[in-house]
Structure 1
């Protein structure tokens, strides 16, 4: 299922951070089917570098990545934002799908949460919820 124009007012520019090539390909395909574009990185440190260099409407961070995981990258991003950087919504993507896992992600500063494996309907719904249906 793809998002409808009513869910997103314009194509999104999405940063996708995941160390698994299959997950990156799947995210790219789903985003493209929804009319969005993705920039792909393989760890949290590279995600932070991309966020420093470019604007993204939203970021998808895998929780577990080498070098720097998604939660660590999220903590550093939120610290930058407290220092004056514009806020970037972050949706955590993880195989952990228990209610306490979701609460832990949101308490860490995530705007949303999607369990793996990604599917178009859940991803579209979470993007629309996090961005309020009106991407900036």
Structure 2
């Protein structure tokens, strides 16, 4: 897979460091933000191949940010792949996130192999 430019949105500094390390080891680069509002700001200012978006964050959570991003895309913005990241790993959680517009889903703690597989699937590799 070609190197990807990834936006990572998570309010937990440990999760941000883990995601950054995993992405770097896979040859990808990451930009880090702490909430959904900052993710939307970054997406308005720069182009990313994919977003890793935590579901539960203070202020604007991941689902709200995802819905806003998809609304912007319906208004003409380029589509960006979104993989939701959550501590909840139940089938109904996955279904709810995909119905909200997510392209993929990974459970916390992030596992490098699972993330690599989901990135490859979402990016069509």
Within the candidate set 74, 80, 90, 1:82 is matched to 74
More RCO (CA 8 Å, sep 6+)? 1
User: Among 1, 5, 15, which residue is 1:13 paired with?
Assistant: 5
Pairwise CA distance, 1:26? 0.1
Deviation at 1:112, TM superposition (A): 0.1
Structure 1 gaps, min length 5: 1-7
TM-score (norm: length of structure 1): 0.91
**How far 1:119 sits from its partner (Å)?**
1.0
Matched residues, number: 125
Question: Which residue of structure 2 aligns with residue 39 of structure 1?
Answer: 31
Q: Which runs of 5+ in 2 are unaligned?
A: none
Matched, 1:120 2:95: no
CA RMSD of aligned residues (A): 0.3
Moved over 4 A (4+): none
TM-score, length-normalised on structure 2?
0.99
